[in-house]
A and B are shown apart, each in its own frame.
Chain A
Amino acid sequence: MKTFATAAAPHLPPRSSVRQVMAEVLLALLPAIAVQAWLFGPGLLVQIALGLLLAAAIESTALHLRGQQPQAGLADLSAALTAVLFALCIPPICPWWISAIGLLFGLGLVKHAYGGLGLNLFNPAMAAYALVLLLYPRQLSLWTAPLADLDLGQSLQAIFLGQLPASWDTLASATPLSSLRQLAGEAWRMPQIRELPLFGHYGAAGWEWIALAYAAGGCYLVWRRIVAWQVPAGVIGATLLLGGLAWLIDAERHPAPLQHLAGGGLMLAAWFVAADPVTGCTSPRGRLLFGIGVAVLSLAIRRWGSHPDGVAFAVLLMNAAAPLIDRFTRPRVHGHAR
């Protein structure tokens, strides 16, 4: 008689792991990281490194406090993903304590206080970004024009010592979305605004390339079946439809739909943030609705809200609505009447 260890079915090697999923998402962010670092300086890489260190420290402390194995928790790479997403949202020369406050809130409170990975209601990166955006609007507007040639030394000085470069006044530049908002407020016509170099080829100089890089990485994730196609389809489809409709009605007063996608955070949200499975919907129809909701709310905040870009708020609002949407979009179970 030969004895064996027993185990529950399935008796097949696992097809993937949470760590693998997170690693692929990080991989898919590489093109956008490269483009953004090239356009807005090496500060981004410093922010990512800083964010990773802070995230590791906060995550392991939180796990320790919750009586769990820090190594196992860190190995799933979810905290690393939060850190990278947050770094991509903030200006590259933002002071270091912005990251500290944001990640402490995002990981410590929004994620771990609610039970950690899988149980958090809100996307930690977006919650962190929304908090610092509300608390420190000035630091969060330290953007330069694309290709402003900030070097590593200047970036480090700005991040850790809070010293902006001497020529900051010439380097600084509003983001396309805030300029758009300001100029529209000053009664500029849209076609006039579009003429300005800040608005690039089809919406926002520099930013439009970053948006394309996000789309490239996102397409990879959809192809790998890590991101459900319904979410980006919902976000992009609704943006084009709604933005397009407004633009067709009055092109003098409304930006072109591509401008909506190119400037700001909609592409990041569409492929990487709204597509976060933990805080999004799980049913196919629910995911489509979730994406549409993010787009509609973003556009509404851009149009009527007090912030130039509202993607983070839109995502958080939809996070809150996700359980309700899931409840009403469950597919019909086999053998049951609708």
Chain B
Amino acid sequence: MSLLRIPGGLVLAVPAAAAPSDAVRHCPLPARLYLPLVQERGQALHCRVQVGQTVRRGEPLAHDGDTEATVVPAPTSGRIVAIEPLTLAHASALEVPTLVLQADGRDETALLPPLPDWAQRPPQELRRRLAQAGVVGLGGAAYPAAAKLGRAVSLLVLNGAECEPYIACDETLMRSRAAEVVAGAAILGHIVAAEDVVIALEERMTEAAAALQAVLAGQTQIRLQRVPTVYPQGGERQLVQTLCAREVPSGAYPADIGVLVHNVATAAAAWRAVVLGEALTSRLVSVGGRGVRQPGVFEVRTGTLIEHLIDSSGGYTEQAARLVLGGPLMGLALPHDRIALGRGANSVLVLGADDVRAQAAQTECIRCGECARACPVQLQPQELWRLLRQGETGQAAALGLRDCIECGCCAFVCPAQIGLVDEYRAAKSALAIAAEQRRRADHARQRHDARNQRLAREQAAKVARVASRREEIAQAQTATANAATAPEPAPAETAEAAPRSMDKSAVLAAIARGKAKRAAAPPPAPPPETES
């Protein structure tokens, strides 16, 4: 397999003092865990518990309502004490309804039936298991694993290339739990019927490679592949480009060219879910930066507040100036630390004032082209920026705005310190909103057209009915005239006409009564505004 270096990218050095240390540390179980009833991608979750209900670890609290219905498992045993608003780990910093689970300290676990014979089981059953165990992609997006495993592919890639500096959870996982990663890789490979399974990790991760190699000894099904240490090598499309020397077409998924990429931690979680029957209730989170006393990689229960995790890593230092969820290039700056860590949270950074850039330092673009040189998807960021500033979102889209992976390379190298990625994100959501509006307008127009057609059809039918009725009457009259000798009218006609005229007179009488009443009574008070 030939390795292709991605274009652009950055070689970034992590400040050594701020890099997380080696072994996995345990973040103690907090007294309360918080589980937002909204997914990482913004969709609401269907709550399956009530306040006051007791749950055991692993039992479903909510599910996403998809076909597979991936659940949110209870991270420990205890009682649901409230559903209260909590700030979401999202750029909007919205407060959303959040389940509050009061831990009882016993940590009783509800296991699903273990499936050690997974190799004999159909993929469908294993996917259902992953959904029941709440296994989602642990690389950051937290997309349900079961949904992503629905298509057969020829190559399965386990992504162990950390995307950003400071983040060390995947490397730590591969080093300390290599066997779980490899076993999980085999299970995922079985589900998608992959001919080839590759674990990709960065060249610098020598210890992790050695640990995996030891497990893989004598194995032929799963291979190890080291990829260059360059950011954003861990990006899904970039990894496919490097490993397959092929590009994922714009707007398509890797699965469209027969490749599936999953994070190594997802593989380990899949192994636990299938072979041990354990639901996904914790994950590794790296804590880094100068603003925290003891950086490291922690095993953290889902729903732990950042506040609690920072306390467990020695608390803040005086330098703490910015709190970031994720890495330094793509991470989200959080307004405060009372935010819960979900299954997609791979890193918490507390950066010092010297480690970040001053705001409002932006100057004019000098078209130096550094951004274009750094762009891993070969966009011309300076041109997109110029177009967006002129309001030419459509033209920017034609130049590939939607292909931007938001890696942040361009914004990092920009000497004018322009917030390029922010601008692109805003423009991309504007495009998405416009597309949605167009879709709705089309839908409304279709409905309107359909309604008009229906009304026309009904009108035509009515006209036809009236015409045929007239004809009938005319025929009947002719018949009556013809049969002038016949003394009595057709009984059916009278029977029909009589109640109709009675109805009419009753209605008229009722209207007259109402009018008289209104004239007599004083005018009624105007109804309150809320009643409408």
- Report which A residues bind B (CB closer than 8 A): 1-18, 20-21, 72, 76, 78, 116-119, 225-226, 228, 277-278, 280, 282-283, 287, 326, 330-336
Residues on A with C-beta less than 8 A from B417 are: 14, 17
Q: A11 near B307 (CB under 8 angstroms)?
A: no
Given contacts A1-B338, A4-B335, A10-B411, contact A116 B241 (CB under 8 A): no
Assembly CA distance A102 to B436 (angstroms): 54
Q: In the assembled complex, which residues on chain B have CB atoms less than 8 Å from the CB atom of A228?
A: 369
- Bound Cα distance from A118 to B422, whole angstroms: 20
User: What chain A residues lie within 8 Å of B368 (beta carbons)?
Assistant: 21, 226, 277
Q: Is the CB of B359 within 8 A of A18?
A: no
Any A CB within 8 A of the CB of B372: yes
Contact indicator B356/A13 (Cβ below 8 Å): yes
Q: Which B residues fall within an 8 A CB radius of A?
A: 7, 12, 93, 237, 241, 247-252, 307, 316, 320-324, 328-338, 349, 351, 354-357, 359, 361, 363-370, 372, 376-380, 382-383, 399-400, 403, 408, 411-417, 419, 421-422
With A1-B307, A15-B412 as contacts: A7 and B322 at CB distance below 8 Å? yes
Q: A2-B320, A116-B364, A336-B250 are in contact. Are A9 and B337 (CB under 8 A)?
A: no
* A333 contacts B335, C-beta separation under 8 Å: no
| Ranked 6 nearest A-B pairs via Cβ | A334-B377, A118-B364, A335-B250, A333-B400, A6-B333, A277-B368
Complex Cα distance, B334 from A12, in Å, reads 15
A12 B247 Cβ-Cβ under 8 A: no
Is B336 a contact partner of A7 (Cβ separation < 8 A)? Answer: no
Q: Which of A9, A72, A228 has the most CB of B within 10 A?
A: A9
A282: which B residues are within 8 A, CB to CB?
Answer: 367, 369, 372, 380, 382-383
Distance of A326 Cα from B367 Cα, bound (Å): 12
A326-B383 in contact (CB<8A): yes
Minimal Cβ-Cβ distance residue in B for A5: B322
Is there an interface contact between B382 and A278, defined as CB atoms closer than 8 Å? no
- Contact assessment for A9 and B328 in the assembled complex, using a CB-CB cutoff below 8 Å: yes
* Smallest Cβ-Cβ distance to A228: which chain B residue: B369
Q: How far is the CA of A199 from the CA of B383 in the complex (A)?
A: 45
Task: Give the shortest distance, in Å, between A117 (CB) and chain B (any CB).
Answer: 5
A21 to B416, CA, bound (A): 10
| CB closest chain-A residue, reference B338 | A1
Asked whether, in the complex, the Cβ of B364 is within 8 Å of the Cβ of A15, the reply is no
Is the Cβ of A1 less than 8 Å from the Cβ of B336?
Answer: yes
Chain B residues in 8 Å Cβ range of A118: 364-367, 416
A281 to nearest B CB, angstroms?
8
Flag if B330 contacts A9 (CB, 8 Å): yes
Contact of A18 with B249 in the complex, beta carbons under 8 Å? no
A12 touches B356 (CB 8 A): yes
Partner among B320, B328, B333, B403 whose Cβ is within 8 Å of the Cβ of A333 = B403
CB distance from A317 to the nearest CB of B (A): 18
| CB-CB nearest in chain A for B410 | A10
Max chain A C-beta neighbours (<10 A), residue from B333, B364, B365: B364
CB distance from A289 to the nearest CB of B (A): 14
Contact of A3 among B241, B336, B357 (CB under 8 A): B336
Q: Which residues on the B side are within 8 Å of A11 (C-beta)? A: 322, 324, 328-329, 331, 333, 349, 351, 355-357
CB-based nearest B residue for A13: B357
A330→B355 CA distance, assembly (Å): 34
Q: A8-B421, A17-B415 are in contact. Are A333 and B378 (CB under 8 A)?
A: yes
CB pair A9–B364 under 8 Å, yes or no, is: no
Q: Which residues of A contact B414 (CB under 8 A)?
A: 14
Given A1-B338, A17-B415: A7 and B359 within 8 A (CB)? yes
Supplied contacts A330-B399, A333-B377, A334-B250, 14 more A-B pairs, CB within 8 Å: A2-B307, A2-B316, A6-B334, A9-B328, A11-B324, A11-B351, A12-B355, A17-B415, A18-B416, A21-B415, A117-B366, A118-B367, A118-B416, A335-B251
Residue of B nearest to A72 (CB): B363
Asked if A9 contacts B363 (CB within 8 A), the reply is no
A332-B378 contact given A9-B330, A11-B331, A117-B364, CB 8 Å threshold = yes
Nearest residue (CB) in B for A116 is B364
Instruction: Chain B residues near A72: list those with CB within 8 A.
Output: 363
Q: Closest residue of chain B to A16, judged by CB?
A: B415
Once the chains are docked, how many angstroms separate the CA of A2 from the CA of B323? 10
B412–A6 CB distance below 8 A: no
By a CB distance below 8 angstroms, the chain A residues around B330 are 9-10
Question: Which chain B positions have C-beta within 8 A of A2?
Answer: 307, 316, 320, 323, 336-337
Assembly CA distance A333 to B330 (angstroms):
21
- CA–CA, A330 and B417, complex, Å: 23
**Distance, CA A278 to CA B363, complexed state (A):** 14
Inter-chain contact A14/B377, CB cutoff 8 Å: no
Whole-angstrom CA separation of A161 from B11 in the bound complex = 57
Q: How far is the CA of A278 from the CA of B415 in the complex (A)?
A: 13
CB distance from B334 to the nearest CB of A (A): 6
Alpha-carbon separation in the docked complex, A7 to B422 (Å): 10
**B-chain residues with CB within 8 Å of residue A287 when the two chains form the complex:** 369
- Distance in angstroms between the alpha carbons of A191 and B367 in the assembled complex: 44
Query: By CB atoms of chain B within 10 A, which of A4, A21, A228 has the most?
Result: A4
Among residues of B, the one whose C-beta sits closest to the C-beta of A12 is B328
Distance, CA A18 to CA B337, complexed state (A):
35
Asked whether A335 and B377 contact (CB < 8 A) given A6-B333, A9-B421, the answer is yes
A223 CB to nearest B CB, Å = 15
Which of A10, A277, A332, A336 is within 8 Å of B369, CB to CB?
Answer: A277
Pairs A–B under 8 Å by Cβ, sample size 19: A1-B336, A6-B333, A7-B357, A8-B411, A10-B328, A10-B329, A12-B329, A12-B356, A15-B412, A17-B361, A18-B363, A117-B363, A117-B364, A331-B372, A333-B379, A333-B399, A334-B247, A334-B250, A336-B403
Interfacial chain B residues near A331, Cβ < 8 Å: 372, 378, 380
- How far is B358's CA from A17's CA once the two chains are assembled, in angstroms? 12
- Chain A residues whose C-beta falls within 8 Å of the C-beta of B93 in the assembled complex: 6
Q: Which chain A residues border B366 with CB–CB below 8 Å?
A: 18, 21, 78, 117-118, 277-278
Determine how close the nearest CB of chain A comes to the CB of B311; give it in whole angstroms.
11
Q: Across the interface, which residues of A come within 8 angstroms of B400, CB to CB?
A: 333, 336
* Residue pair A12, B412 in contact (C-beta under 8 Å): yes
Q: Which residues on the B side are within 8 Å of A18 (C-beta)?
A: 363-364, 366, 415-416
Residue of B247, B329, B335 near A9 (CB, 8 A) is: B329
Closest approach, in angstroms, between the C-beta of A280 and any C-beta of chain B? 8
> Which residues on the B side are within 8 Å of A116 (C-beta)?
364
Whole-angstrom CA separation of A11 from B325 in the bound complex:
11
The smallest beta-carbon distance between B140 and chain A, in angstroms, is 13
